Structure 1
């Protein structure tokens, strides 16, 4: 049986491995931005730093991350957290990394006092949608044909759950 992923808050030292992971896992299955090209932007920026990322390690190597933030800057919305990114290395798929990260994000949001957690997922990303549904997320809205990816219009699916 494979070892369970180790889950922890990101550090400054994770910036390069997270940037590589983000580029290596880029796909129109989940990305609406163009493929990153050199010179690459830093993974951390003014809006998101280490404190906003939970990472997963297998055998001491970063194999996944989830980005957790606020959906808006409004005080009236401060009780909600949003998953703003999730990536798992190809070689770590099927090892429970995505599920462990999702559960850790829900726990972190709860510890911050959040009452709800939301996310957006592309309609054609069936594996991600199945994972989210299995963890209690429900479809709360659909923006039909919101993105044009690889010549096809793709829905933007809004999902959420109570904490």
Structure 2
């Protein structure tokens, strides 16, 4: 083995280094959700609802979340109890229920986004633009592909 190859980290080492970067963001985000008594499963749905924006049918949320419709019903029940989501009839089909974030839910998501932005600034403040571009390209190469038909989140 040449000296050049001895310095090449293995895939597991790279994954661990990546986890060390991502973990603080996940920990801070989890702390914010926990302070609002939002369990992880509800937090995931809350994030998904925020990202898609606007009211969505329960069935669409279930499909995008990868769970059964009855599971989304239970998750939405919990978000509703916390005042983070609300159900409304679909104006085009009153048999259909739409779910959207409330003002309180949007405010919580703004807090999460602010925390994320602050951490990103801490992590990348010292990184010059050319290194940021290079990192973005490298991350695009290792990004986990989504199964066909799975919506972007």
Given the two structures, how large is their TM-score scaled by the length of structure 1? 0.24
Higher helix share: 2
Query: Which has more strand, going by share of residues?
Result: 1
